[in-house]
Amino acid sequence: MGRKSFAHERHASQNRSAPHKTDFNKKAMHLLSPVKRARANKGQIMKLLQSLLLFTFTMIASLIAFTYTAIHFPTTMRELLSGAQHVRDQMQSLYLPDNFMVWVDIFLQPNQIVLVGISIAMRFLIGIIGSFVSRNRTPKPTPRSDPASNAGTNPAFGRWG
């Protein structure tokens, strides 16, 4: 009985150490995956760069709008700053603990609140302008998205197109 279990263990250890086809395929796919990963990462990198450029453009445009408002419309800027100060005063009237209020004092300055508001408004404006610009660009229909080609293959949904 002991011999059978030893032989069984030896056979099992040989099976564990022997390479299988699936192990080879995994290694081969791992070698090929950097090329595929580079192609996929190129699209992701382009999207990241586009997002960073759009964020940078938004912040620069917001700073220009903030400065323009302060120079050409000082009364409006003073009203915005007093409104932001009112928001800060309302936060302070809540009698929150000091460990929270210290962050309110650091981060919620009236000029920062106004700049964040202008940045949000600028982001909406850029989004609206971008939607009008992208509406004029029409993608070329692919065979799968072309309604006329789908009509022949699936007549039940062909008239929806």
**47-59 pLDDT tens trace:** 889 889 999 999 9
Question: Does the structure show a pLDDT above 60 at 1?
Answer: no
* Exposure on the CB side of residue 107, measured as CA atoms within 13 A: 7
* pTM metric for this prediction: 0.57
Q: Average pLDDT in the 23-28 region? A: 56
| 132 C-beta neighbours (distance < 10 Å), count | 8
Report whether 121 contacts 146 (CB < 8 A): no
What's the rounded Cα separation, in Å, for the pair 105 and 92?
A: 9
